[in-house]
Structure 1
Amino acid sequence: MFSPEGPTLRELAVQALSSVEHGYDLLAPKFDHTPFRTPDTVLESVAKALGPLGPFEDGLDLCCGTGAGTDVLAGLCHRSVTGVDFSAGMLDVARRRATGPVERVPAGPGTPGVAWVRGDARALPFTAAFDLVVSFGAFGHFLPRELPGLFTQVHSVLRPGGRFAFPVLAPPRPASPAFWMLLGFDAVMRVRNAVWRPPFVMYYRAFRLGQVLEELTRAGFTVDLRALPEFGRRDGGSPRARLVVARRPDGATPPPAA
């Protein structure tokens, strides 16, 4: 499950008994050697799907972690790319691994400037400054009741006509081992959070596509679902992976947070 460069079981246990922020600070130096990092196949598929929707000038990687998604934006945005995360440790790793400049200014023709900002996705420190917002693998850290505020925040930092995009994988079927593994993981996390403080919010089964689409629409987006063909289809014909593309309509203003 982990490479030799990844965290030990003891390090994972310490992380799991920490807050989300401190846990990721601890995990950051070895995060890219864990299964928690979004696979390159997903990143490449999303980049391919978003390319025809451009051009984009300024992009934001929401909950950027060590910057894997920021690399996707760097290939799509012409002027600037910003990664935002509330873990200082993850941002430190992202800065070190970045191949571009750290200042938010163009580095040269066709090369976007890159900036790293520490901030909470539920209270983003930006105005309507972006044409494209992406996020990879972060939504398990938000409870369902937090989605309206989160999506309203994203709506507010997009320019009119801007897009918010993220991949979603089809949930495993009840007959599969993955279904029971994820169910068991979520159950363990709920017990842990009931008996231990601070809480560590990470639930794989709480981010349900139907609710997500409803909340995006309520936040003022028009929403499109696009199959990611690289991952094929399930037995019933539905895609194994989709890209959610939520667009802020031209001239739209964000509704008040619920």
Structure 2
Amino acid sequence: MFTPQGPTFRELAVQALSSVEHGYDLLAPKFDHTPFRTPDPVLHSVARALERIGPFDSGLDLCCGTGAGIDVLGTVCRERITGVDISAGMLAVAREQTRPGGPPVAWVRGDARALPFGPAFDLVVSFGAFGHFLPGELPGLFAQVHSVLRPGGRFAFPVVAPARPGSPGYWALLAFDTAMRVRNAVWRPPFVMYYRAFRLSDVRRELIRAGFIVDLRTLPEFGRREDGSPRCRLVVATRQGLGTAAGVLSESDFW
């Protein structure tokens, strides 16, 4: 799962016993050599899907980490791009890796639960960050995203189908989440990272409550499961403006 350039077991242990912010500061130099970085096939698939919706003027990568999602924004945004993250270490790596060309990129240190922006963006994306938010934090998180989007702006992020109960992936994620809950019960500061807490049905409900119209789009590159449902979807939530209707789904079946 890790390349030779990735973190050692000791480094991961030190990170796991830190706060989320400090833990990612420590992990930042080697983060892109871990399986925690969003895979390129997912990024490319999302970019293709957004190209069919856009183009957009300004874009924000929420919880941008080392900047993997910035290239996605660069393909669909024409004017400017911003990456925001709570970890100064991750932002430092992102700045070093900024590619020349395309719209100008700004890197901002900030908490996704208290974004330091007004309604300045047409598109907000996020990749692999939602495990750091407890279910009770979703209303506030989505309200923040809503507040930084212009009317008609989009909030887009991929969601992978949950592992089937009893499958190896199911047991692996259950074991990880259980270990994190035990760790947080006996150790401070807490390190919030739960893979099984971000449920699509809850996400849909809270997005609609925050004032979004919710649309699900299949990412066809990842195929379908045995029951015919997509393995990976793109959630596209649109901030309601003049002439928009109540929140709806384009696909009736969801996990």
Same fold (TM over 0.5): yes
Counterpart position of 1:179: 170
Task: Report SS of the residue matched to 1:53.
Answer: coil
1:238 is matched with which residue: 202, 226, 229?
Answer: 229
CA RMSD of aligned residues (A): 0.9
Task: Report SS of the residue matched to 2:2.
Answer: coil
Question: What is the identity, as a one-letter code, of the residue corresponding to 1:241?
Answer: C
CA distance in 2, matches of 1:249, 1:205: 29
Counterpart position of 1:67: 67
Counterpart position of 2:127: 136
Counterpart position of 1:256: none
CA distance in 2, matches of 1:175, 1:44: 30
Task: Report SS of the residue matched to 1:57.
Answer: strand
CA distance in 2, matches of 1:48, 1:181: 31
**1:179-198 matched pairs, under 5 angstroms:** 179-198=170-189
Shift of 1:52: 1.2
CA distance in 1, matches of 2:55, 2:91: 27
Counterpart position of 1:103: none
Shift of 1:181: 0.4
Counterpart position of 2:148: 157
Whether 1:13 aligns to 2:13 is yes
Report percent identity of matched pairs: 77
Counterpart position of 1:4: 4
Whether 1:216 aligns to 2:199 is no
2:103 is matched with which residue: 112, 124, 134?
Answer: 112
Question: What is the identity, as a one-letter code, of the residue corresponding to 2:74?
Answer: A
Counterpart position of 1:38: 38
Shift of 1:174: 1.1
CA distance in 2, matches of 1:209, 1:74: 27
Counterpart position of 1:204: 195
Task: Report SS of the residue matched to 2:113.
Answer: helix
Deviation string 1:102-158 (CA, Å, 9 cap, x unpaired) is: xxxxx6xxx311000000000000000000000000000000000000000000000
Shift of 1:58: 0.1
Counterpart position of 2:113: 122
CA distance in 2, matches of 1:55, 1:29: 33
**Residue ranges of structure 2 left out of the alignment (5+ in a row):** 244-255
Question: What is the identity, as a one-letter code, of the residue corresponding to 1:207?
Answer: F
Whether 1:167 aligns to 2:158 is yes
Counterpart position of 2:216: 225
Question: What is the identity, as a one-letter code, of the residue corresponding to 1:204?
Answer: Y
Question: What is the identity, as a one-letter code, of the residue corresponding to 1:170?
Answer: A
Deviation string 1:150-185 (CA, Å, 9 cap, x unpaired) is: 000000000010000000000000121000000000
Provide the aligned length of Structure 1 versus Structure 2.
Answer: 243
**Residue ranges of structure 1 left out of the alignment (5+ in a row):** 101-106, 253-258
CA distance in 1, matches of 2:49, 2:227: 23
Task: Report SS of the residue matched to 2:195.
Answer: coil
Counterpart position of 1:87: 87
CA distance in 1, matches of 2:145, 2:176: 29
CA distance in 1, matches of 2:206, 2:240: 16
TM-score normalized by the length of structure 2: 0.94
Shift of 1:55: 1.6
Question: What is the identity, as a one-letter code, of the residue corresponding to 1:70?
Answer: I
